[in-house]
Amino acid sequence: MRMDTELKTIAIVGSGASGVACFIQLVLKYIIAKSSQPLSIVLFERKNEFGTGLAYGTGQEGHLLNTKAGLMGLFPGERLHFVQWMHQHKDLIEQDFPQVHPHPDSYPPRMLYGLYVQSMLDHYFQIAQQHKLQVSKQHMEIVDAEATGEQRITLKSNKNSYYHADYVILATGTPASATFRELNGLTQFIASPWPSKRILTTIEDKNAKVSIVGSSLTAIDALITLVENGHKGPITFFSLSGLLPRVQSPAEIPFQRKVLTLSNIRTLIRENQRSLRVKDLIRLFRAEVENHLQRKVDWAAEERVGKNQLDLLEGDIRQATQGANLYQNILYSLREDTYAIWKLLSADQKILFDKWIKPYFDINRHAIPMENGVKVRNLLKTNQLRVIGNSDDIQWDGTKFILKTEDEKSYEADFVINASGPASVVSKMEDLPLLQILLKKNYIQEYAAGGLLADLNTMRLESGDGIPRLPLYTVGHPLSGLQLDVNSLWFNVEQADRLTDDIIQQIR
């Protein structure tokens, strides 16, 4: 597709929620700037629908948001916008989602949130057209890119069509897992829980033995897909840690930190004349807990690995009902400071954080809604669900899967669903071939702690040695090493604000 030489073109590769957030902010900022520069914005999407992505395009009403509605606004500084939209569309909700109560502390179905994102995309698409912006949606996958001498990027699609862009935003979403790739060719091995219909069309036997690799939020989504569509057979969570997410309180409990503060962290760095270490964060967190409890804590006794997960989950539900999960309350209170603290860690310390702390951080910070906690508890009580830890060995013997733990215990499964979490190393993101091609061409650089290197003031990606920095930007999971909260949409919306500021300033 050839475009006018005076026209500036922005390509957004990926049109899930983060891509839509970038689109909306570009449109708004261009209109507000009253720019005379002709502008075209092209949205690319390889999936069936624009706006939903994998996360919000699920066809399962039982898949709930894992973040409360009051944080899910699609506009920077307007986190309550989704809640406001629900109030404005009460008739839709009463008819199609009667169980939903529009409230900041609610956890509505992701299907409903997907409708919200699509509604915002359609609305601002029309506004863009009214202001003479050239906007288009292209249902195709971008599979290659080539830099030209004019600091432009030529994009190639899977349909062998070419698009020339002055700026490219990579909103490619969450990649698939990089584990157990050797099993991908097996019909009985489902490489990702998304889209959920793949599970339902593959596992037709409702009594089959199913193992789900992982025990985190994605594993629970896979579990809900199965049981809410009539699966009666045994299901096993098979993971390294064997840790289930904890349960979210019906309302977030405010917590005033006195020890684990950004001020104290900066004081520590200044007085010790060294960079921040993971051990510092562990020590400060423990001190915060003990200061609040006014007693010493037996931290060895707090270990959850290897304990009965049903007992732990029942205790978590009781604590959540009372708002008494102290660890969760502390971590939620850190929401606005987490990024600033993360940036103070070196790459090697971030790697240690992922190894030592992240499993425990995730089960508290990324907890499940009460409704899902109760569902999982009931499945554990009936023994339809088991959770097995210390395991990462899966073999196919020609008729079934054999799963082994570190203590040499073996389990069998007819089907395996890989919900072990997304790849963090770009070279292993096989379902995102564009990123791998850009990496091979030295247009982008990997970051030692995962994801890509970028200017965090603008989200513009850093190129490799000998390559001038290109007009390539990204948001979300490709920055997983530099930014801890890339799984949180509210965080990605704020980063999209920085990204779009930089582009609009260049073209206005």
Same domain, 162 and 46: yes
Same domain, 44 and 155: yes
Q: Are 496 and 21 contacting, i.e. CB atoms less than 8 angstroms apart?
A: yes
Going by pLDDT thresholds of 50, 70 and 90, the confidence category of residue 149 is: confident
Going by pLDDT thresholds of 50, 70 and 90, the confidence category of residue 4 is: very low
**Residue 234, preceding bond cis, omega within 30 degrees?**
no
With respect to residue 99, please indicate whether it lies within any of the assigned structural domains: no
Same domain, 343 and 373: no
- Segment (H or E) for 230: none
| Over residues 147-170, mean pLDDT | 94
- Rg over alpha carbons for the chain, rounded to the nearest Å, is 23
Query: Is the per-residue pLDDT at 75 higher than 90?
Result: yes
Q: Which domain holds residue 319?
A: 262-365
d(CA 318, CA 295): 22
Same domain, 32 and 166: yes
Same domain, 136 and 31: yes
With respect to residue 71, please indicate whether it lies within any of the assigned structural domains: no
Note the pLDDT of residue 57: 82
Query: Is the per-residue pLDDT at 370 higher than 70?
Result: yes
* Of 441, 439, 444, the residue nearest 459 (C-alpha): 444
Same domain, 373 and 361: no
| Over residues 39-63, mean pLDDT | 89
* Of 344, 326, 249, 334, the residue nearest 289 (C-alpha): 326
The total number of residues written for the chain in this structure: 508
Number of separate domains in the chain:
3
Going by pLDDT thresholds of 50, 70 and 90, the confidence category of residue 61 is: confident
Same domain, 36 and 158: yes
For every residue of 98-124, which 3-state class applies, written as one string?
CCCCCCCCCCCEHHHHHHHHHHHHHHH
Same domain, 29 and 146: yes
Same domain, 14 and 148: yes
- 3-class SS of residue 424: coil
Same domain, 191 and 290: no
Counting residues of the chain whose pLDDT is more than 70, the rounded percentage is 99
Query: Is the per-residue pLDDT at 508 higher than 80?
Result: no
With respect to residue 105, please indicate whether it lies within any of the assigned structural domains: no
Note the pLDDT of residue 1: 41
With respect to residue 61, please indicate whether it lies within any of the assigned structural domains: no
Note the pLDDT of residue 391: 80
Across the chain, what does the average pLDDT equal?
Answer: 95
Name the β-bridge partners of 235: 210, 385
Output the CA torsion 370→374→380→385 (10° steps). -70
Same domain, 290 and 379: no
With respect to residue 65, please indicate whether it lies within any of the assigned structural domains: no
Q: Are 325 and 250 contacting, i.e. CB atoms less than 8 angstroms apart?
A: no
d(CA 154, CA 423): 27
DSSP summary character for residue 243:
P
Same domain, 41 and 142: yes
d(CA 285, CA 287): 5
